[in-house]
A and B are shown apart, each in its own frame.
Chain A
């Protein structure tokens, strides 16, 4: 391995090719390490698979920085949560969801790519990325792919990332967020005020023209093996009047009820997660945005 890959004791490839070659040699990509560190420690104790050795993508130019290209906003996989939150290009709804993650110290080092690749049903960026129809841009020796976030995450803890690939960036059309008619909502119900994992979360956004919903989108986090977003319910709402919210709620709540399938665990109960998510949705619709 060439010496230039090393800098201050960390493996730092400068190109996608170098990165995929490292993966093929058994290395794992790391962002801030805030998840890997915790996971590896637990794995060591239970005899599970430890992700080691690691390399960072932060010297690969394409993984850094936040850019726009027309309407498309692209966030490099090496960007920290704090840098994304502070960027003037970052829509408020995304910033709000990222601000709900962990604590300042962790946000200063953790990345959005890491949050996505964890593929945890409770990852707080995911509901917002689902409603923004975000694409995960990957690259590897087999070429480049652009995968909708919904397809990128295949099951709790697993993604469709191929063996030789890294995540290069996350992108979405942010023009809707700049529309005067844009309204958004994000709510995380966690175990405490900071450094807390989600019991459930809701992200929603819409355009409201003359009191009529269009482009309504809603996603529920931590209430099923994957984020729940239902076009059936969204179709029901689009084109309807904001002030008919209670009626709309009555119509779509059964749809969401069927789709939510939360678990009982050491942080909350299935009943609480389901009932609270449904109440938040009903309340959002009946109060209007």
Chain B
């Protein structure tokens, strides 16, 4: 183990566990107003009239016309309006809002606002959707030829459900507008996304928009997109009223209006030659984007770029589409398209193993990617892939193969319903495609502030726009700089980003913070160390911007080349028991082996892996989010059940050593990886236990009862 992996105490654990951390809902500004948004109680319709109640003194009305720039948030695409204009496209869409001294009054004004609609046809599910926002096709090799020459062709389809991020702290923002300058504070992952969105919304220049992150109580992708909407709404209210305005969503409201993970429907045709080798796949991947495109195009890219999973298939055709439906726009969620694609890819290998009479592991390992292989986008896997070593490790800790053989016998005899499954997952680190080099172009700055009172002779400040949101960015970024500069950890300062102070090092997404930003600050720390050694008593600073390693090629037009600079890998084993009467599912074992390069802090990584695995197992089993006629049916934690500590066993985790040459101390992507593999391992286990080929998650007792009754 590298010495940087040794765990240290987190710098944010004390204030968060003691309750002294100040979240946005705790913040009060002088003269601050409350705000409530009127959401559409209609799935799809043209707005005929909006009947507004009379405004009490000190209350203001806000709608799409309150935006002096464009009434559209900039969330990759610029199509999602802050407030509906002539048409409502989904249940819960913001139509207008009220701001004023008392929240109860604002809420009452919303209830009293009556909207009349002319109904328009609504589409609620992928199957019924005809329109799409994006339609991409990728071809690797010569799939047509392989299908023509195939001895057998297998076809199956896989479905994944919606998932709510369920961060502990609901979404919230405060906006104020003073002397032409707009300042926004709130819970967020991407301060510069919000800043850019506000500039466009109000036609303000760079100097006149400031975004400050407040302590963020969990995000999981859920605070990548919607904070831009909320910030726009609060800013409009602050500009209209001339007062600071706060909006905090309560849980039901948050769950009713914010984006969730894209449901998917993925069809895979597989060509097999006369010797039983898989030669080609034809994949049709549809994800449910909801009513606006927003960032769905990028989610789709990540899904299709990894559409054969961890398996090297020679000839591949993939078509991906983001289907337009009438419900909440789907959004970012840890894994970002990966969990859907990997579920389908891995379950398809399980299906093929069953069809070809092979043990699933035996079939899967024949196709695992190896160094030098070609990805779906015709990129090259340049680094060592240690999946064989990872299989040995996971066998050692889980005893997968012998359990699999045992359950195969018992499940055939039909007595106890036990099963075990294994899955393989890959996660490309950093932004997809040309994101890092062409779009984000990260810039970081480190500053040295001399201070003779301190034992280190001063403080070194990390200035980046990446946020601490519970994942441990603050402590791990500080560790990297401390290790490189040789300064003690206490001398390294990280504070919540303020866009007036920090440069744009990009959003806190895509498992890029350590791998990309961490590397930049490591390099900057090496340079600053030199300056400090030359003159410890003078302030100094270093800036460093991202340079894409020259060997990676990417063509954004054709989606060919290296979609990601490096991949992280996971092997998951999940063991289950199904109650033969109630079909309740008990997960009896969870094991995983990860290759994330060098762990920057082993405790933090274990936390990520435990939490991510539980989140993925929830996604696979008890987390059911239904959109009934476009309206979410589960909008509280009573009905939307996320796992508690009693639901799943701890995951036994192993990290293998495989340092990445362009990562800080060898680290690569880690945060999203635990969400990629468990769903397929779980569903394979359920399939073995039930003797059925399960192709859909979440797997509920209701679904098993219907199939096995």
Contacts and interface: CB of A to CB of B under 8 A. Distances in A.
A194 B644 contact: yes
A192 B647 contact: yes
A272 B107 CA distance: 39
B102 to A, nearest CB: 13
Contacts of B705: 271-272, 275-276
A283 B646 contact: no
A271 B582 contact: no
Contact of B644 (A47, A195, A199, A272): A195
Interface stretch (A108-116, A155-163, A210-218, A262-270): A262-270
A192 B706 contact: no
B36 to A, nearest CB: 10
Given A47-B111, A192-B622, A271-B706, A276 B639 contact: no
A103 B111 CA distance: 35
A227 B253 CA distance: 33
Interface string B473-500: 0000000000000000000000000000
A280 interface: yes
Given A45-B107, A47-B111, A266-B633, A276 B644 contact: no
Interface string B621-651: 0100010000001100011010111110000
Nearest to B584: A189
Range for the number of chain B residues in contact with chain A: 20 to 34
A193 B634 contact: no
A103 B641 CA distance: 14
Interface in B581-639: 581-584, 622, 626, 633-634, 638-639
B148 interface: no
A191 B641 contact: yes
Given A193-B646, A266-B634, A276 B581 contact: yes
A279 interface: yes
Interface in B650-709: 701-702, 705-706, 709
A42 B637 CA distance: 13
A206 to B, nearest CB: 20
Given A47-B111, A197-B638, A275 B646 contact: no
A193 B581 contact: no
A193 B647 contact: yes
B702 A269 contact: yes
A196 interface: yes
Among A191, A194, A199: residue with most chain B CB under 10 A: A191
B2 interface: no
B641 A196 contact: yes
B702 A268 contact: yes
Interface string A244-273: 000000000000000000000011110110
A286 B702 CA distance: 24
Contacts of A38: 638
B252 interface: yes
B406 interface: no
Output the residue of B643, B702, B705 with the most chain A CB within 10 A: B702
A271 B702 CA distance: 8
B556 interface: no
B393 to A, nearest CB: 29
Nearest to B621: A192
Given A272-B702, A280-B582, A266 B644 contact: no
Contacts of B252: 42, 45
Contacts of A272: 701-702, 705-706
A103 B637 CA distance: 14
Given A189-B582, A193-B647, A267-B639, A275 B622 contact: no
A193 B644 contact: yes
Contacts of B638: 38, 197
Nearest to A284: B581
A47 B626 CA distance: 25
A191 to B, nearest CB: 5
Contacts of B701: 189, 199, 272, 276
A78 B706 CA distance: 43
A191 B581 contact: no
Interface of A: 38, 41-42, 45, 47, 103, 189, 191-197, 199, 266-269, 271-272, 275-276, 279-280, 283
11 contacts: A38-B638, A41-B250, A189-B582, A189-B701, A192-B622, A192-B647, A194-B644, A196-B641, A272-B701, A279-B581, A283-B581
